Homo-oligomer: A and B are copies of this chain.
Amino acid sequence: MNAATRPDARDRMIRSAAVLFRQQGIEGTSFSDVLDHSGAPRGSIYHHFPGGKAQLAEEATRYAGDYIAAGLIAALDDGEPVVAIQKFTSFWLELLREADFAAGCPVVAAAVEGDRTPGARVAAGAAFERWHELLATALERRGLPADRARSVASLTIAATEGAIVLARAQRSTEPLEDVAAELERLVASL
């Protein structure tokens, strides 16, 4: 097993950072946390990330955004936006249960801690926009007028992300289950 078959230290650090940001936010996560979690050697931090924590935060946010986007693309492959939205909310419900409400969305963390890590905030904005584009396009393809498709896509992403925040705070899946039901009802009626 060598560098070609196993993720190298750099990738492992990015993945670990994304996981930890989900739980503790960016400010709440130290390099030591990332090293412990990834098993990467301390000496390689500034070798791989000369831009320091800001660079790591930005790359981890971009990685997470791409990861979710890939999931959305796969979910939309079936063609029916309703199904994709169900898969999207189910994905997050599953994550919340697995983590016992101790983890949310790392992209949200980057957005909320905003101006202290500008690169991460920009990456978060780009991720949200990408997801929005994917959903809006799918809704439009299904026959919705372009502007309505865009606003329903906004509602879907905002409501899901917001519900994850509520669910974490209340340690209950109810907000997200409510949102999933309302979104399903709405989109099915279009």
Contact = CB atoms under 8 A, between A and B. Distances in A.
Give the oligomeric copy count.
2
Interface of A: 23-25, 27-28, 102, 104, 107-116, 121-122, 124-125, 127-129, 132, 150-152, 154-155, 157-163, 165-166, 168-171, 174-176, 178-179, 181-183, 186
B159 A178 contact: no
Contacts of A28: 27, 113, 116
B169 A124 contact: yes
A152 B175 CA distance: 10
B27 A168 contact: no
Contact of A166 (B161, B171, B176): B161
A130 B67 CA distance: 34
